[in-house]
Amino acid sequence: MKATLKVNGRTTTIDVEPRKTLLDALRDDLGLVGSHAGCEHGVCGACTVLLDGDPVRSCLIFAVQADGYEITTIEGLAPAPGELSVVQDAFCETHGLQCGYCTPGMILTGHALLQRNPDPSRDDIVDAISGNICRCTGYGQIVEAIEFAADRLRKANAPRDLTGSDANQPHVDPAAATDAPQQGVLEAAEADTPHGGRS
């Protein structure tokens, strides 16, 4: 049976048995093996993909049912080859993964949460990932990764406070305009300190 899937912006028609799950079609027919097969009956979340932006378990939908949706897999998150999305990068920074088996599902779930709720509480994050099982990390660093990504995304495009009076707001040091580094590029952490860490 034919199934037309739009995955990460690209439309492909494949010929599959009706009993083939979207998960198996992504992995076997499209070669997108970033979606992981864990339990294959809907309890672990390793196979999570986004359907029109909302997380679903790709082992609980057949490929022949998935036409007409915008399907996003972990392969579709990175902004460009060799780069990482903010959420992906946050998982690296906070050691939000060990074996990595749950990670694509966790990242997509976190990504979907931040699309709807840019300022989630810790409880919101825990609730969002409650359907995803991780056997390695103990979850702490995964929650931290999503908090960290949320913080970065909020600050990325926020109007900046020029006085630096609110420690929770991104701010620019007014001297930065005249203080461009002589050579090289400042580390992000350095750039946040007055005068780029130079007195």
Residues that bind ligand FES (CB under 6 A): 37-40, 42-47, 57, 59, 97-103, 134-137
Q: Report d(CA 30, CA 18) in Å as an integer.
A: 16
Smallest gap from residue 126 Cβ to another protein (A) = 8
Q: What are the beta bridge partners of residue 51?
A: 54, 71
Smallest gap from residue 132 Cβ to another protein (A) = 8
Q: Does 160 bind another protein (CB under 8 A)?
A: no
Q: How many CB atoms lie within 10 A of CB 169?
A: 14
Q: Does 42 bind another protein (CB under 8 A)?
A: yes
Q: Report d(CA 21, CA 72) in Å as an integer.
A: 16
* Nearest C-alpha neighbor of 122 from the set 97, 98, 95, 151: 151
Contacting residue, 5, 26, 45, 94, with another protein by CB under 8 A: 45
For residues 59-98, which are near another protein according to CB under 8 A? Answer: 59-62, 64-65
Q: What are the beta bridge partners of residue 56?
A: 49
Q: Does 130 bind another protein (CB under 8 A)?
A: yes
**All residues at 6 or more sequence positions from 128 whose CB lies less than 8 Å from its CB, including other chains:** 109, 110, 112, 113, 120, 146
Q: Does 35 bind another protein (CB under 8 A)?
A: no
Smallest gap from residue 189 Cβ to ligand FES (A) = 26
Tell me which of ligand FES, another protein, none is bound by residue 127, counting a contact when its beta carbon lies within the kind-specific cut-off of 5 to 8 angstroms. another protein
Inter-axis angle of helices 103-116 and 140-156, nearest 10: 40
Chain residues that interact with another protein, rule: CB under 8 A: 1, 17-21, 24, 40-43, 45, 48, 51, 54-57, 59-62, 64-65, 109, 126-128, 130-131
